[in-house]
Structure 1
Amino acid sequence: MNILLVNHYAGSTRHGMEFRPFYLAREWVRAGHNVQIVAASYSHVRTIQPKLNDVALSENVEGIDYHWYNTPVYKGNGIGRVKNMLSFMWALWCDAKRLALEIKPDVVIASSTYPMDIWPVRRIAKFSGAKLVYEVHDLWPLSPMELGGMSRWHPFIVWVQMAEDYAYRCADKVISILPKTKEYMCARGMAPEKFAYVPNGVDEEEWAEPIDMPEDAKDCLRILRNKNLPLVGYAGTHGLANALDVLLDASTHLKGRAELVLVGNGPERNALLQRVASEGLSNVTMLPAIPKKSIPRFLDAIDIAYIGWHPNPLYRFGISPNKLMDYMMAGKPIVHSVSAGNDPVADAACGFTVPPSDPRAIAEAVLKMVEMPKEERDFLGSKGREFILGKRIYSVLAKQFLEQI
């Protein structure tokens, strides 16, 4: 089968996030399919941008053909990002016939976070007679409306809503990363039989051959270990949505009982560092980001993993965070602070779920784990790993994806 996957923000192990398109595509290639990923040359989530000397670049990454369109650099979520989107979509629209004739896709997947790529992607599908799949990562325009407070009558929101409704109507299949979206999608015009759920997962190979953490991170964790207190860890982006401010609030209830260590970068990191210093949060250590392939080593070094969310009605459609999959793959018992349409921690019985934005509840869950015999904590963690290996590794998810088409 020839598969064309369009994802504006697609990355790879060479470029960084986002990884899902790469992991799925690599499994499809290994299964004997031909896969072309089309993406923009600049993405705010990518660590390394491809180097283009012209309007486009083609290269091969682990058997996957990538085609990058030259798009402008931007910062934040303003007009610069919109120009970047428009540039990518226009290049894709203009190149639709060539892509259809050269790749001859059997399946074309529109997979960017925003839905507006459905228009040029459907054009490619029409030229090639391919099946059209719309993959939903986040619900746009609900995300910018409910998280960003944008009015439903804002011109950008109206434009996005037109694209989303069009995608539900015209796609042959709609595949959602979020489990509880079917009813909403049907209300926007999707036929119920089009819906399928394929969540995020874990690349098993990254866990087979992890790399060591940087020496400064290893030294820091060694010092913390010498305090003979359990380590509660967080690895990931330091943003508003990650509820790390609530974890810092919880730290005051854990002094002398547990050490907290946060690894990562993000827009809120400096503010969190200032809080740690100004409030004298002596049991909180913050380390900069480490390589993705070192995350298994970090998780090996901690006892309990934390993930949290602030209350938000958008989460009623479900969650599928990559860091949670990593925690479960590492076999760590998890404290999950959330209210959402689904809860993988509860599904796997691999930890404790507490209400969001409740530092005392977080602290009580941590202390409950601390007081458990180590064997019981290890058993909790093993349930998460068992869940991932059975249902959430990309070799399984890639096969499941194609079976839905």
Structure 2
Amino acid sequence: MNILLINHHAGSLQHGMEYRPYYLARAWIALGHRVRIVAADHSHVRRENPCLNKRSRLDQQIDGIEYTWLNTPGYTGNGPARIQNMLIFLFRLHYFSTALARSFRPDVVIASSTYPLDIWPAYRIARHAGARLLFELHDLWPLSPIELGGYSRWHPFIQVLQAAENFACRNCDAIVSMLPNVRGHLEAHGMAPHKLHIIPNGTDAAEWRDAPAPLSETVANTFCQLQKAGFLLVGFAGAHGLANALDTLLDAARLLSEVPVRFVLAGSGPEKSRLQARVRDERLNSVIFIDAVAKKQIPSLLRAFDVAYIGLQRQPLFRFGISPNKLIDYMMAGCPVLQAIEAGNDPVGEARCGLTVAAEDPEAVAAGIRTLLAMPPAQRKAMGRNGTRFVLENLTYDVLGKRFLHACVSQRQRNVSSVSSLAPNNSSTSIGSSHE
């Protein structure tokens, strides 16, 4: 089967995030299918963008995956330049749609960009090729810019986004979502119940089986000295942005000043310098910042933590569910997890791999840390093993790739029973959104 996946932000191990299209494509290729990913050459989420040298299109192979990069202008932030980047990507995708349909001859076309506007050129390609059409929902647009960005429902751009979502709900053969609680929303916009398949984020188990790359000598020595001094490590790894509620963790650190614990914040992001200044000003001596580590070093970093912290700001959109990639990494590393998130699902509770407390509540976070650190080490390790086992059984891309293929070829499924928020027991189960 030939699978054409359109994702504006798709990356690879070479380019960095977004990784999900890459890992799904590798899983499909391992099962004997041919995959082409179509993406914009410029995306703010990538570590490195491909170089097209003013060409409008570049075709290349990466790890057996066929990539088509379309030339788009650079941008920063979420203003008009980003919208221009989207529109030019869509224009080029429309321009090349007939050629893609004829040369690649897809059996399945997947519209998978964060925003839904790629559904129209994807529909055109599918019609030309006689292919099935899927829509993969990462985040809810236009609901996200309405609820998070304060846009009016009557803003012209919002109206176009809503038209695209409605078109996808009514015209796709199937809809794949990472959000476990979207059924009501999508049905309200025209989706037939049998079309929904919920397939979460996942991980490549092979990357965890191999011996992990060691941490830098400086970081490794720091951890070793802290552990010899009797300190337990509560760690966070990821983007230092407002969404991750790291001020709440610093507030909890202040409340735990008498506890033999050190808080390790690993990563980079727009809020890092401000958080570092706050730690200096408030003399929060229990907090340590380290630079972001390479992807291959993540297992070594996370396995040094006694407890891994994940938090998010309170947002009404989380009623549809969450699926942070970093949580899956924590679970694969065998870390007991403290989750400070209020959402429509509770992945930590589902996997029995830690504790869940209220979001943006320093007292609750501090109490959760006290509870976890007071446990015998064997009990914390058992929680960590629960998380690893859950991911290996349910959330590897080998498993998820097969479930996605089922959505590609399945006929009218009418299983609309209520589903687990995390465990993919059938084609309508799993965990939610794509937050980092």
Q: TM-score, normalised by structure 1?
A: 0.98
Secondary structure, aligned partner of 2:136? strand
For residue 364 of structure 1, what is the amino acid of its counterpart?
Answer: A
1:272 Cα deviation from its structure 2 partner: 0.8
Partner residue, 1:124? 125
Partner residue, 2:236? 234
1:256 Cα deviation from its structure 2 partner: 3.4
- Once the two structures are superposed, residues 292-311 of structure 1 have per-residue CA deviations (whole angstroms, 9 ceiling, x without a partner) of 12111001111000001111
Mapping of residues 3-402 of structure 1, within 5 Å? 3-53=3-53, 54-209=55-210, 210-257=212-259, 258-402=261-405
Structure 1: state its 5+ residue gaps: none
C-alpha separation between the residues in 2 aligned to 1:274 and 1:153?
41
- Once the two structures are superposed, residues 105-160 of structure 1 have per-residue CA deviations (whole angstroms, 9 ceiling, x without a partner) of 00000000000000111100000000000000000011111111211122221111
For residue 10 of structure 2, what is the amino acid of its counterpart?
Answer: A
C-alpha separation between the residues in 1 aligned to 2:208 and 2:111?
29
Cα RMSD between the aligned structures?
A: 0.9
Secondary structure, aligned partner of 1:252? helix
C-alpha separation between the residues in 1 aligned to 2:139 and 2:219?
33
For residue 106 of structure 1, what is the amino acid of its counterpart?
Answer: D
1:325 Cα deviation from its structure 2 partner: 0.4
1:226 Cα deviation from its structure 2 partner: 3.3
For residue 278 of structure 1, what is the amino acid of its counterpart?
Answer: D
C-alpha separation between the residues in 2 aligned to 1:379 and 1:198?
27
Secondary structure, aligned partner of 2:255? coil
For residue 47 of structure 2, what is the amino acid of its counterpart?
Answer: T
C-alpha separation between the residues in 1 aligned to 2:275 and 2:112?
33
1:243 Cα deviation from its structure 2 partner: 0.7
For residue 27 of structure 1, what is the amino acid of its counterpart?
Answer: A
Q: TM-score, normalised by structure 2?
A: 0.92
For residue 209 of structure 2, what is the amino acid of its counterpart?
Answer: A
**More deviation in 170-179 or 147-156?**
147-156
Secondary structure, aligned partner of 1:265? coil
For residue 51 of structure 1, what is the amino acid of its counterpart?
Answer: C
C-alpha separation between the residues in 1 aligned to 2:23 and 2:395?
12
C-alpha separation between the residues in 2 aligned to 1:216 and 1:148?
41
C-alpha separation between the residues in 1 aligned to 2:270 and 2:147?
20
1:334 Cα deviation from its structure 2 partner: 0.5
Which has the higher relative contact order, 1 or 2, with Cα contacts under 8 A spaced 6 or more apart?
Answer: 2
